[in-house]
């Protein structure tokens, strides 16, 4: 397809999406980088590098559409088990991303956040991450971009349970005061609304320890497109799919229709 035709298709799809309901929070499992590269005879890291172009494109598109939160699974607690070289290359790419995106995030009023066991990250990632979080936190923001880094949902729930238990043991919290909100405040995603839509690219149909608590009522979408090819068109198509669904939250279709008048 010619570039002009592709741009027109994208504009038409964008206009269609804008006419529908825009979710507040989209969370993505950015999978398929390694296989994308291997299929081209390239080293896996080339897939991760190309994947960071999708991060830029999707972030920009999400912001333009008016999402209030975008959460990207960038590195899982289990990914620490990958070969040392791949972990090192991923950390280098993260550092590069954090150093290069400052102007883009600030100019577009995007606040950067991170969720995960951040203490495990090497200082070459932790430092620019803390710096960028600090800079963007001090400015007005129209969207929060959260990187799930060294993130595992079970690890997160264990962490929250420990925090609740120690407050109860110390007499700072009554056991009866523990409810969904109180637990939610101790998750690494505290402050974020629950995701409305969770997308996984790359063809696998699993959550891989991502947002297990938070996604209790999220719409799930699994697409075969590998993350490096997802880009704006991938996000827009996913939102069209989301807009065709009916979210019932346990109620009947008739009740939902009546509520939306």
Binding site for ligand IPE (CB under 6 A): 29-35, 73-76, 79, 90, 202, 204, 206, 208
CB closer to Mg ion, 31 vs 196: 31
Q: Which stretch binds Mg ion (CB under 5 A): 24-32, 109-117, 187-195, 221-229?
A: 24-32
Reply yes or no on whether 31 is catalytic. yes
Give me the least distance between CB of 68 and ligand IPE, in Å please: 22
Q: Is 201 near Mg ion (CB under 5 A)?
A: no
48 binds Mg ion (CB under 5 A): no
Q: Cβ closer to Mg ion: 48 or 111?
A: 48
Q: How far is the CB of 80 from Mg ion (least distance, A)?
A: 14
Chain-centre distance of CA 46, in angstroms? 21
User: One of 3, 9, 11, 31 is an active-site residue; which one?
Assistant: 31
Among residues 9, 33, 79, 241, the one annotated as catalytic is 79
Name the minimum Å distance from CB 212 to ligand IPE. 13
Nearer of residues 31 and 61 to ligand IPE, judged by Cβ: 31
Question: What minimum distance in Å lies between the beta carbon of 34 and ligand IPE?
Answer: 3
State the residues that interact with Mg ion by CB under 5 A: 31
Active site residues: 31, 79
């Amino acid at each position: 397809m010619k570039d002009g035709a592709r741009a027109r298709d994208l504009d038409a799809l964008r206009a269609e999406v804008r006419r529908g309901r825009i979710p507040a929070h989209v969370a993505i499992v950015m999978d398929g980088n390694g296989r994308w590269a291997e299929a081209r005879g390239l080293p896996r890291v080339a897939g991760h590098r190309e994947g960071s172009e999708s991060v830029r494109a999707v972030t920009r598109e999400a912001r333009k559409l008016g999402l209030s939160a975008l959460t990207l699974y960038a590195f899982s607690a289990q990914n620490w088990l990958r070969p040392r070289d791949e972990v090192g290359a991923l950390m280098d790419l993260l550092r590069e991303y954090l150093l290069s995106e400052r102007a883009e995030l600030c100019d577009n009023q995007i606040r950067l956040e991170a969720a995960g066991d951040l203490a495990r990250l090497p200082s070459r990632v932790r430092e620019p991450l803390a710096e960028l979080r600090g800079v963007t936190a001090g400015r007005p923001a129209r969207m929060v971009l959260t990187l799930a880094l060294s993130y595992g949902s079970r690890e997160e729930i264990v962490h929250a349970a420990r925090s609740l238990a120690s407050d109860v043991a110390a007499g700072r919290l009554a056991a009866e005061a523990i409810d969904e909100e109180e637990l939610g405040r101790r998750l690494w995603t505290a402050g974020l609304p629950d995701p409305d839509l969770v997308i996984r690219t790359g063809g696998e149909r699993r959550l891989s320890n991502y947002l297990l608590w938070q996604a209790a009522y999220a719409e799930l979408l699994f697409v075969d497109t590998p993350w490096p090819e997802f880009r704006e068109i991938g996000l827009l198509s996913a939102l069209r799919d989301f807009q065709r669904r009916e979210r019932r939250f346990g109620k009947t279709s008739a009740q939902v229709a009546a509520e939306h008048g």
